[in-house]
Amino acid sequence: MTILIVDDSRLMRKSVKTCFDMLKVPCQYVEAENGEEALEQLQSRPINLVLLDWNMPKMSGIDFLKQVRTMEQYKTLPIIMVTSEGARYNVIEALKSGANDYIVKPLNEKNLREKVFKIIT
């Protein structure tokens, strides 16, 4: 499995990898600092899961999500928002825009396990 981690914070990308390693799921990581980089990564290799922050420079996570969901080849790609944006309207917007699930930071292994296994199994 190849996981695309999209977050402008290097520390957060590392935290996501650490949490994912705890799940003991064999995987490879691809990283992007913003939505533009994420689109490039997505189009350059097969990706099985995207973990996506909301607030990033150049292209936000929600803009990336909306754009990806208009592309036929990515309509079913599992995407989980992992963000500090915890307001109800943000969650609703993300889910309506095509996110499969939503995790409010801080990230923890139990919450990640629950959300990821619901999607990949």
pTM: 0.91
pLDDT digits 0-9 by tens, 102-117: 988 887 778 888 888 7
Rounded CA separation 5/80 (Å): 10
Query: Between the CA of residue 70 and those of 16, 19, 85, 115, what are the distances in Å?
Result: 27, 30, 23, 23
pLDDT of 9 higher than 90: yes
Q: How many distinct structural domains can be found in the chain?
A: 1
What CATH number does residue 90 fall under?
3.40.50.2300
Q: Which domain holds residue 24?
A: 2-120
pLDDT digits 0-9 by tens, 52-100: 999 999 999 999 999 999 999 999 999 999 888 778 898 899 999 999 9
